[in-house]
Chain A
Amino acid sequence: MSIFNQLLSAFFSRLFFLYILSVTASQAELVSGYEFSSEQAKEFQDDDFQNPGFLLIEQGLNVYNKIGDNDQLCSNCHGLNGDQFIPKSIAQFPKYHDILQKPVTLRDQIQHCWVSRLDNFSLEYDDPELLALETLVRNKAYGEKVNVNISGKIKPYYEAGKAFYFTRFGQMDMNCAQCHDIYTGKMLRGQKLSQGHTNGFPLYRLESQKMINLPQRLRECFRSLRAETFEQDSKEFRDLEIYLNARGNGLKIETPAVRY
Protein backbone atom coordinates (compact mmCIF):
# COMPACT_ATOMS: atom_id res chain seq x y z
CA MET A 1 0.00 0.00 0.00
CA SER A 2 1.31 3.44 -0.86
CA ILE A 3 1.49 6.22 1.71
CA PHE A 4 -1.36 7.94 0.01
CA ASN A 5 -3.49 4.86 0.23
CA GLN A 6 -2.70 4.44 3.90
CA LEU A 7 -3.59 8.03 4.67
CA LEU A 8 -6.77 7.65 2.75
CA SER A 9 -7.79 4.53 4.56
CA ALA A 10 -6.89 5.98 7.93
CA PHE A 11 -9.02 9.00 7.15
CA PHE A 12 -12.00 6.96 6.04
CA SER A 13 -11.76 4.50 8.87
CA ARG A 14 -11.90 7.40 11.30
CA LEU A 15 -14.83 8.83 9.46
CA PHE A 16 -16.49 5.45 9.57
CA PHE A 17 -15.78 5.17 13.28
CA LEU A 18 -17.28 8.60 13.94
CA TYR A 19 -20.28 7.62 11.89
CA ILE A 20 -20.81 4.47 13.96
CA LEU A 21 -20.43 6.52 17.11
CA SER A 22 -22.99 9.05 15.98
CA VAL A 23 -25.40 6.32 14.98
CA THR A 24 -25.17 4.56 18.32
CA ALA A 25 -25.35 7.86 20.16
CA SER A 26 -28.50 8.87 18.35
CA GLN A 27 -30.03 5.51 19.07
CA ALA A 28 -29.22 5.76 22.75
CA GLU A 29 -31.02 9.04 23.18
CA LEU A 30 -34.72 8.32 23.39
CA VAL A 31 -37.11 11.22 23.23
CA SER A 32 -40.84 10.93 23.74
CA GLY A 33 -43.20 12.30 21.10
CA TYR A 34 -44.26 14.76 23.82
CA GLU A 35 -41.08 16.76 23.36
CA PHE A 36 -41.82 17.21 19.67
CA SER A 37 -45.42 18.28 20.22
CA SER A 38 -46.90 21.74 19.96
CA GLU A 39 -47.51 23.77 23.12
CA GLN A 40 -51.22 23.27 22.56
CA ALA A 41 -50.89 19.50 22.50
CA LYS A 42 -48.69 19.51 25.60
CA GLU A 43 -51.18 21.65 27.51
CA PHE A 44 -54.01 19.39 26.48
CA GLN A 45 -52.14 16.31 27.61
CA ASP A 46 -51.08 17.73 30.96
CA ASP A 47 -54.56 18.84 31.99
CA ASP A 48 -56.63 15.87 33.17
CA PHE A 49 -59.83 17.84 32.72
CA GLN A 50 -59.11 18.84 29.14
CA ASN A 51 -57.42 15.63 28.04
CA PRO A 52 -60.14 13.64 26.24
CA GLY A 53 -58.29 10.44 27.11
CA PHE A 54 -59.60 10.63 30.65
CA LEU A 55 -63.18 10.58 29.40
CA LEU A 56 -62.38 7.32 27.69
CA ILE A 57 -60.81 5.99 30.87
CA GLU A 58 -64.13 6.72 32.62
CA GLN A 59 -65.90 4.72 29.94
CA GLY A 60 -63.28 2.03 30.31
CA LEU A 61 -64.21 1.75 33.99
CA ASN A 62 -67.84 1.13 33.04
CA VAL A 63 -66.76 -1.71 30.79
CA TYR A 64 -64.36 -2.94 33.45
CA ASN A 65 -67.23 -3.17 35.92
CA LYS A 66 -69.63 -4.84 33.53
CA ILE A 67 -70.61 -8.35 34.54
CA GLY A 68 -69.44 -10.97 32.09
CA ASP A 69 -71.59 -13.76 30.66
CA ASN A 70 -70.46 -16.07 33.45
CA ASP A 71 -71.05 -13.50 36.22
CA GLN A 72 -67.35 -12.79 36.47
CA LEU A 73 -65.87 -9.29 36.56
CA CYS A 74 -62.48 -7.87 35.67
CA SER A 75 -62.31 -6.62 39.26
CA ASN A 76 -62.45 -10.18 40.60
CA CYS A 77 -58.84 -10.56 39.53
CA HIS A 78 -57.58 -6.98 39.14
CA GLY A 79 -59.14 -5.16 42.04
CA LEU A 80 -61.55 -2.30 42.37
CA ASN A 81 -61.07 0.05 39.38
CA GLY A 82 -58.01 -1.95 38.35
CA ASP A 83 -55.84 -0.89 41.25
CA GLN A 84 -54.21 -4.30 41.44
CA PHE A 85 -52.68 -4.10 37.98
CA ILE A 86 -48.92 -4.24 38.26
CA PRO A 87 -47.40 -1.27 36.38
CA LYS A 88 -44.11 -3.10 35.78
CA SER A 89 -45.97 -5.95 34.16
CA ILE A 90 -48.16 -3.71 32.00
CA ALA A 91 -45.01 -1.97 30.77
CA GLN A 92 -43.65 -5.30 29.49
CA PHE A 93 -46.21 -5.76 26.74
CA PRO A 94 -46.08 -7.12 24.08
CA LYS A 95 -44.73 -10.30 25.66
CA TYR A 96 -44.54 -13.97 24.82
CA HIS A 97 -47.52 -15.87 26.15
CA ASP A 98 -46.47 -19.39 27.07
CA ILE A 99 -49.90 -20.94 26.96
CA LEU A 100 -51.02 -19.28 23.72
CA GLN A 101 -47.54 -19.96 22.34
CA LYS A 102 -47.24 -16.57 20.67
CA PRO A 103 -46.52 -12.96 21.53
CA VAL A 104 -49.50 -11.02 22.81
CA THR A 105 -50.04 -7.29 22.81
CA LEU A 106 -51.83 -5.63 25.71
CA ARG A 107 -54.92 -5.59 23.48
CA ASP A 108 -54.60 -9.34 22.89
CA GLN A 109 -54.24 -9.98 26.59
CA ILE A 110 -57.36 -7.97 27.42
CA GLN A 111 -59.22 -9.76 24.67
CA HIS A 112 -57.98 -13.10 26.03
CA CYS A 113 -59.33 -12.36 29.53
CA TRP A 114 -62.54 -10.98 28.06
CA VAL A 115 -63.19 -14.22 26.24
CA SER A 116 -61.68 -16.90 28.45
CA ARG A 117 -62.36 -15.48 31.92
CA LEU A 118 -65.60 -13.58 31.38
CA ASP A 119 -66.93 -15.92 28.72
CA ASN A 120 -67.86 -12.96 26.53
CA PHE A 121 -67.93 -12.88 22.75
CA SER A 122 -64.65 -11.56 21.47
CA LEU A 123 -64.54 -7.86 20.68
CA GLU A 124 -63.85 -6.53 17.20
CA TYR A 125 -60.30 -5.35 16.91
CA ASP A 126 -61.31 -1.70 16.76
CA ASP A 127 -64.23 -1.96 19.16
CA PRO A 128 -64.55 1.21 21.28
CA GLU A 129 -64.92 -0.94 24.42
CA LEU A 130 -61.61 -2.63 23.76
CA LEU A 131 -59.96 0.73 23.15
CA ALA A 132 -61.45 2.05 26.39
CA LEU A 133 -60.19 -0.97 28.34
CA GLU A 134 -56.73 -0.73 26.83
CA THR A 135 -56.52 2.97 27.69
CA LEU A 136 -57.65 2.27 31.24
CA VAL A 137 -55.15 -0.54 31.77
CA ARG A 138 -52.21 1.17 30.11
CA ASN A 139 -52.90 4.29 32.14
CA LYS A 140 -52.42 2.20 35.29
CA ALA A 141 -48.76 2.04 34.28
CA TYR A 142 -48.48 5.81 33.79
CA GLY A 143 -44.90 6.90 34.47
CA GLU A 144 -43.57 3.34 34.37
CA LYS A 145 -40.70 2.71 31.97
CA VAL A 146 -41.45 0.65 28.86
CA ASN A 147 -39.60 -2.62 29.29
CA VAL A 148 -40.14 -5.16 26.53
CA ASN A 149 -38.07 -8.31 26.73
CA ILE A 150 -36.79 -9.26 23.30
CA SER A 151 -34.82 -12.39 24.06
CA GLY A 152 -36.09 -15.94 23.94
CA LYS A 153 -39.10 -17.01 21.95
CA ILE A 154 -40.19 -13.50 21.07
CA LYS A 155 -36.93 -12.77 19.29
CA PRO A 156 -37.93 -13.85 15.75
CA TYR A 157 -41.09 -11.75 15.96
CA TYR A 158 -39.05 -8.77 17.08
CA GLU A 159 -36.61 -9.30 14.22
CA ALA A 160 -39.48 -9.49 11.74
CA GLY A 161 -40.87 -6.24 13.10
CA LYS A 162 -37.48 -4.62 12.80
CA ALA A 163 -37.13 -5.73 9.18
CA PHE A 164 -40.58 -4.33 8.52
CA TYR A 165 -39.56 -0.99 10.00
CA PHE A 166 -36.79 -0.71 7.44
CA THR A 167 -38.89 -1.80 4.44
CA ARG A 168 -40.00 0.87 2.01
CA PHE A 169 -43.71 0.86 1.29
CA GLY A 170 -46.23 2.45 -1.02
CA GLN A 171 -46.11 4.86 -3.90
CA MET A 172 -44.12 7.24 -1.66
CA ASP A 173 -41.60 4.43 -1.34
CA MET A 174 -40.44 5.39 2.15
CA ASN A 175 -39.68 3.40 5.27
CA CYS A 176 -40.40 4.22 8.90
CA ALA A 177 -36.75 4.83 9.71
CA GLN A 178 -36.42 7.59 7.15
CA CYS A 179 -38.94 9.75 8.97
CA HIS A 180 -38.45 8.59 12.54
CA ASP A 181 -34.70 7.91 12.76
CA ILE A 182 -32.99 9.94 10.07
CA TYR A 183 -35.02 13.14 9.82
CA THR A 184 -36.29 13.35 13.40
CA GLY A 185 -36.78 16.96 14.45
CA LYS A 186 -37.13 18.18 10.87
CA MET A 187 -40.37 19.65 9.60
CA LEU A 188 -42.69 17.80 7.26
CA ARG A 189 -44.60 20.92 6.15
CA GLY A 190 -45.94 22.16 9.51
CA GLN A 191 -45.40 18.91 11.37
CA LYS A 192 -42.27 18.18 13.38
CA LEU A 193 -41.13 14.59 12.96
CA SER A 194 -40.80 12.71 16.23
CA GLN A 195 -38.95 9.48 16.88
CA GLY A 196 -42.24 7.65 16.37
CA HIS A 197 -42.44 6.06 19.80
CA THR A 198 -45.39 4.20 21.24
CA ASN A 199 -45.23 5.22 24.90
CA GLY A 200 -48.30 7.47 24.58
CA PHE A 201 -50.72 4.94 23.08
CA PRO A 202 -53.69 4.73 23.09
CA LEU A 203 -53.69 8.47 22.48
CA TYR A 204 -55.89 11.33 21.42
CA ARG A 205 -55.20 12.67 17.96
CA LEU A 206 -55.89 16.36 17.53
CA GLU A 207 -55.98 15.93 13.79
CA SER A 208 -58.85 13.44 13.67
CA GLN A 209 -60.19 14.43 17.11
CA LYS A 210 -60.44 10.93 18.40
CA MET A 211 -58.72 8.32 20.51
CA ILE A 212 -56.75 5.76 18.55
CA ASN A 213 -54.73 2.67 19.26
CA LEU A 214 -51.38 1.91 17.68
CA PRO A 215 -52.58 -0.16 14.70
CA GLN A 216 -54.96 2.65 13.80
CA ARG A 217 -52.00 5.06 13.73
CA LEU A 218 -49.99 2.63 11.65
CA ARG A 219 -52.80 2.42 9.15
CA GLU A 220 -52.75 6.18 8.84
CA CYS A 221 -49.01 6.19 8.21
CA PHE A 222 -49.66 3.56 5.54
CA ARG A 223 -52.37 5.62 3.94
CA SER A 224 -50.10 8.63 3.76
CA LEU A 225 -47.46 6.46 2.08
CA ARG A 226 -50.13 5.39 -0.43
CA ALA A 227 -49.45 1.81 0.52
CA GLU A 228 -51.83 -1.10 0.76
CA THR A 229 -52.41 -1.34 4.46
CA PHE A 230 -52.36 -4.40 6.70
CA GLU A 231 -55.22 -5.58 8.87
CA GLN A 232 -55.12 -4.24 12.40
CA ASP A 233 -54.61 -7.70 13.83
CA SER A 234 -52.20 -8.86 11.13
CA LYS A 235 -48.98 -10.60 12.05
CA GLU A 236 -47.07 -7.75 10.41
CA PHE A 237 -48.56 -5.06 12.64
CA ARG A 238 -48.11 -7.22 15.74
CA ASP A 239 -44.45 -7.78 14.96
CA LEU A 240 -44.05 -4.10 14.30
CA GLU A 241 -45.71 -3.32 17.62
CA ILE A 242 -43.13 -5.48 19.38
CA TYR A 243 -40.28 -3.74 17.62
CA LEU A 244 -41.68 -0.25 18.17
CA ASN A 245 -42.28 -0.82 21.87
CA ALA A 246 -38.88 -2.40 22.43
CA ARG A 247 -37.29 0.44 20.47
CA GLY A 248 -38.71 2.76 23.12
CA ASN A 249 -37.58 0.67 26.10
CA GLY A 250 -36.87 3.09 28.92
CA LEU A 251 -39.37 5.75 27.91
CA LYS A 252 -42.07 6.53 30.43
CA ILE A 253 -45.61 5.52 29.60
CA GLU A 254 -47.78 8.60 29.00
CA THR A 255 -51.17 7.06 28.21
CA PRO A 256 -53.39 8.85 27.37
CA ALA A 257 -51.10 11.16 25.40
CA VAL A 258 -52.26 13.94 23.11
CA ARG A 259 -50.54 14.21 19.76
CA TYR A 260 -51.02 15.95 16.49
Chain B
Amino acid sequence: MSFFMLVKINNFIISCIVVFIPFFPITIHASPDINYIIKDDSILNSRNDLTGDPYKGRELVRDRNKGNCLACHQLPIPEDAFHGTIGPSLHKISLRLTEAQIRLRVTDMKQINPISIMPGYFRSPEKITRISPLYENCTILSAQEVEDIVSYLVTLKSDPFESPL
Protein backbone atom coordinates (compact mmCIF):
# COMPACT_ATOMS: atom_id res chain seq x y z
CA MET B 1 0.00 0.00 0.00
CA SER B 2 1.32 3.38 -0.91
CA PHE B 3 2.19 6.10 1.51
CA PHE B 4 -0.53 8.22 -0.01
CA MET B 5 -3.13 5.63 0.83
CA LEU B 6 -1.96 5.39 4.41
CA VAL B 7 -2.42 9.11 4.80
CA LYS B 8 -5.83 8.85 3.27
CA ILE B 9 -6.95 6.15 5.64
CA ASN B 10 -5.48 8.05 8.53
CA ASN B 11 -7.40 11.11 7.44
CA PHE B 12 -10.50 9.06 7.09
CA ILE B 13 -10.26 7.85 10.65
CA ILE B 14 -9.59 11.32 11.94
CA SER B 15 -12.49 12.75 10.02
CA CYS B 16 -14.75 10.08 11.45
CA ILE B 17 -13.81 11.17 14.91
CA VAL B 18 -14.20 14.82 14.06
CA VAL B 19 -17.50 14.33 12.33
CA PHE B 20 -19.18 11.94 14.67
CA ILE B 21 -18.27 13.18 18.11
CA PRO B 22 -19.97 16.57 17.89
CA PHE B 23 -23.05 14.73 16.74
CA PHE B 24 -24.01 13.61 20.18
CA PRO B 25 -25.32 16.52 22.23
CA ILE B 26 -28.12 17.42 19.89
CA THR B 27 -31.81 17.93 20.26
CA ILE B 28 -34.17 16.18 17.93
CA HIS B 29 -37.45 17.76 16.96
CA ALA B 30 -38.12 15.50 14.05
CA SER B 31 -41.86 15.43 14.39
CA PRO B 32 -44.07 17.35 16.80
CA ASP B 33 -44.48 14.31 19.00
CA ILE B 34 -40.93 13.17 19.10
CA ASN B 35 -38.57 15.32 21.02
CA TYR B 36 -35.97 14.16 23.39
CA ILE B 37 -32.55 15.37 24.32
CA ILE B 38 -29.60 13.14 23.62
CA LYS B 39 -26.60 13.81 25.80
CA ASP B 40 -23.48 11.78 25.08
CA ASP B 41 -24.96 8.33 24.46
CA SER B 42 -27.93 8.71 26.77
CA ILE B 43 -31.40 10.10 27.11
CA LEU B 44 -31.56 11.31 30.69
CA ASN B 45 -35.22 11.86 31.35
CA SER B 46 -38.22 9.93 30.28
CA ARG B 47 -40.62 11.97 28.22
CA ASN B 48 -43.16 13.88 30.30
CA ASP B 49 -41.75 12.08 33.33
CA LEU B 50 -43.53 8.84 32.54
CA THR B 51 -42.91 5.99 34.95
CA GLY B 52 -42.23 2.56 33.49
CA ASP B 53 -43.87 -0.64 34.62
CA PRO B 54 -41.30 -3.44 34.49
CA TYR B 55 -43.97 -6.17 34.41
CA LYS B 56 -45.49 -4.66 31.29
CA GLY B 57 -41.97 -4.22 29.92
CA ARG B 58 -41.31 -7.92 30.28
CA GLU B 59 -44.41 -8.69 28.22
CA LEU B 60 -43.53 -6.06 25.62
CA VAL B 61 -40.08 -7.52 24.93
CA ARG B 62 -41.73 -10.89 24.19
CA ASP B 63 -44.68 -9.60 22.19
CA ARG B 64 -44.07 -10.12 18.47
CA ASN B 65 -46.19 -7.12 17.58
CA LYS B 66 -44.50 -4.81 20.05
CA GLY B 67 -40.87 -4.95 21.13
CA ASN B 68 -40.18 -8.42 19.80
CA CYS B 69 -36.72 -8.01 21.29
CA LEU B 70 -36.45 -11.80 21.57
CA ALA B 71 -36.24 -11.89 17.78
CA CYS B 72 -32.64 -10.72 18.12
CA HIS B 73 -31.61 -10.81 21.80
CA GLN B 74 -31.37 -13.41 24.54
CA LEU B 75 -33.16 -12.48 27.74
CA PRO B 76 -33.82 -14.34 31.00
CA ILE B 77 -37.29 -15.36 29.79
CA PRO B 78 -37.43 -19.16 29.95
CA GLU B 79 -41.06 -19.42 28.77
CA ASP B 80 -39.98 -18.58 25.23
CA ALA B 81 -38.09 -21.42 23.62
CA PHE B 82 -36.37 -19.41 20.92
CA HIS B 83 -34.21 -16.36 21.48
CA GLY B 84 -32.45 -14.64 18.61
CA THR B 85 -28.67 -14.28 18.31
CA ILE B 86 -28.40 -11.24 16.07
CA GLY B 87 -27.82 -8.76 18.88
CA PRO B 88 -25.79 -9.17 22.07
CA SER B 89 -27.33 -11.03 25.00
CA LEU B 90 -29.18 -8.70 27.35
CA HIS B 91 -28.52 -10.82 30.42
CA LYS B 92 -27.18 -8.53 33.14
CA ILE B 93 -27.50 -5.58 30.78
CA SER B 94 -27.97 -3.16 33.64
CA LEU B 95 -24.48 -3.94 34.92
CA ARG B 96 -23.12 -2.68 31.61
CA LEU B 97 -25.38 0.25 30.81
CA THR B 98 -27.13 2.91 32.85
CA GLU B 99 -30.84 3.50 32.63
CA ALA B 100 -30.23 6.61 30.52
CA GLN B 101 -28.00 4.70 28.11
CA ILE B 102 -30.55 1.91 27.78
CA ARG B 103 -33.23 4.51 27.06
CA LEU B 104 -31.39 5.84 24.04
CA ARG B 105 -30.69 2.35 22.70
CA VAL B 106 -34.35 1.35 22.88
CA THR B 107 -35.53 4.73 21.60
CA ASP B 108 -33.35 4.88 18.53
CA MET B 109 -30.23 2.77 18.23
CA LYS B 110 -29.38 4.43 14.92
CA GLN B 111 -28.44 7.60 16.80
CA ILE B 112 -25.45 5.65 18.09
CA ASN B 113 -24.77 3.33 15.19
CA PRO B 114 -26.30 4.65 11.97
CA ILE B 115 -26.03 1.25 10.28
CA SER B 116 -27.45 -0.80 13.13
CA ILE B 117 -30.04 -3.40 12.21
CA MET B 118 -31.91 -2.69 15.44
CA PRO B 119 -35.17 -0.88 14.73
CA GLY B 120 -35.64 2.56 16.27
CA TYR B 121 -38.60 1.92 18.51
CA PHE B 122 -39.29 5.61 18.95
CA ARG B 123 -37.62 6.86 15.78
CA SER B 124 -39.31 9.60 13.83
CA PRO B 125 -41.44 8.10 11.05
CA GLU B 126 -40.20 10.92 8.85
CA LYS B 127 -36.81 9.25 8.69
CA ILE B 128 -38.26 6.08 7.26
CA THR B 129 -38.66 5.02 3.62
CA ARG B 130 -41.96 3.54 2.48
CA ILE B 131 -43.57 2.89 5.81
CA SER B 132 -46.66 0.74 5.33
CA PRO B 133 -49.90 2.78 5.27
CA LEU B 134 -50.99 0.71 8.27
CA TYR B 135 -48.29 2.35 10.36
CA GLU B 136 -48.24 5.77 8.79
CA ASN B 137 -46.88 8.37 11.18
CA CYS B 138 -46.50 5.81 13.93
CA THR B 139 -43.53 4.80 15.99
CA ILE B 140 -43.17 1.10 16.81
CA LEU B 141 -43.67 1.72 20.52
CA SER B 142 -45.25 4.57 22.45
CA ALA B 143 -43.17 6.65 24.85
CA GLN B 144 -44.85 4.84 27.73
CA GLU B 145 -43.99 1.45 26.27
CA VAL B 146 -40.36 2.48 25.84
CA GLU B 147 -40.31 3.42 29.52
CA ASP B 148 -41.86 0.08 30.46
CA ILE B 149 -39.13 -1.77 28.61
CA VAL B 150 -36.38 0.41 30.03
CA SER B 151 -37.65 -0.16 33.55
CA TYR B 152 -37.62 -3.91 32.90
CA LEU B 153 -34.08 -3.96 31.52
CA VAL B 154 -32.87 -2.00 34.53
CA THR B 155 -33.85 -4.96 36.72
CA LEU B 156 -31.51 -7.33 34.85
CA LYS B 157 -28.55 -7.44 37.20
CA SER B 158 -27.39 -10.96 38.07
CA ASP B 159 -27.60 -14.55 36.90
CA PRO B 160 -29.37 -16.93 36.89
CA PHE B 161 -32.57 -15.44 38.28
CA GLU B 162 -31.38 -11.98 37.60
CA SER B 163 -34.75 -10.36 37.47
CA PRO B 164 -37.14 -10.44 40.40
CA LEU B 165 -39.96 -10.42 37.86
Q: Which residues of A come within 8 Å of B, CB atoms?
A: 1, 5-6, 8-10, 12-13, 16-17, 167-174, 178-179, 182-183, 186-190, 193, 223, 226-229
List 16 A-B residue pairs with CB atoms under 8 Å apart, sorted by A's residue number: A9-B7, A9-B9, A13-B6, A16-B9, A170-B129, A171-B132, A171-B140, A182-B117, A187-B86, A188-B84, A188-B86, A189-B82, A190-B81, A223-B132, A226-B134, A226-B135
User: Hey, which chain A residues are within 8 Å of B138, CB to CB?
Assistant: 171
Question: Interface code B113-133, partner A: CB below 8 Å = 1, 0 otherwise?
Answer: 000010110010101111111
Answer whether residue B70 sits at the interface, using C-beta atoms and an 8 A cutoff: yes
Complex-state Cα separation, A226 to B119, whole angstroms:
11
Chain B count of residues within 8 A CB distance of the other chain: 33
Answer whether residue B47 sits at the interface, using C-beta atoms and an 8 A cutoff: no
Answer whether residue B18 sits at the interface, using C-beta atoms and an 8 A cutoff: no
Complex-state Cα separation, A159 to B129, whole angstroms:
19
Given contacts A169-B129, A171-B135, A228-B131, 18 further A-B contacts (CB under 8 A): A6-B6, A12-B10, A12-B13, A13-B9, A17-B1, A167-B129, A168-B129, A170-B131, A171-B138, A173-B127, A173-B128, A174-B117, A186-B84, A188-B71, A190-B81, A226-B132, A227-B131, A228-B132
User: Hey, which chain B residues are within 8 Å of A10, CB to CB?
Assistant: 6
User: Hey, which chain B residues are within 8 Å of A188, CB to CB?
Assistant: 71-72, 84, 86
Min CB gap B133→A, angstroms: 6
User: Hey, which chain A residues are within 8 Å of B128, CB to CB?
Assistant: 168, 170-171, 173
Min CB gap A129→B, angstroms: 30
Min CB gap A111→B, angstroms: 27
Answer whether residue B85 sits at the interface, using C-beta atoms and an 8 A cutoff: yes
- Contacting pair A228 B110 (CB below 8 A): no
Min CB gap B153→A, angstroms: 19
Which one of B6, B9, B10, B132 contacts A170 once the chains associate, using CB atoms below 8 Å?
B132
User: Hey, which chain A residues are within 8 Å of B21, CB to CB?
Assistant: none
- Contacting pair A227 B130 (CB below 8 A): yes
Answer whether residue B83 sits at the interface, using C-beta atoms and an 8 A cutoff: yes
Question: Interface code B43-82, partner A: CB below 8 Å = 1, 0 otherwise?
Answer: 0000000000000000000000000001110000000011
Min CB gap B86→A, angstroms: 5
Question: Interface code B91-125, partner A: CB below 8 Å = 1, 0 otherwise?
Answer: 00000000000000000001000000101100101
Min CB gap B94→A, angstroms: 23
Complex-state Cα separation, A12 to B42, whole angstroms:
29
- Contacting pair B82 A187 (CB below 8 A): yes
Complex-state Cα separation, A63 to B132, whole angstroms:
37
Min CB gap A7→B, angstroms: 11
Most chain B Cβ neighbours within 10 Å, of A5, A8, A12, A189: A189
Min CB gap A192→B, angstroms: 9
- Contacting pair B10 A5 (CB below 8 A): yes
Min CB gap A133→B, angstroms: 31
- Contacting pair B86 A183 (CB below 8 A): yes
Answer whether residue B5 sits at the interface, using C-beta atoms and an 8 A cutoff: yes
Min CB gap A116→B, angstroms: 34
- Contacting pair A173 B120 (CB below 8 A): yes
- Contacting pair B5 A13 (CB below 8 A): yes
- Contacting pair B10 A8 (CB below 8 A): yes
User: Hey, which chain A residues are within 8 Å of B81, CB to CB?
Assistant: 190
Most chain A Cβ neighbours within 10 Å, of B9, B110, B133: B9
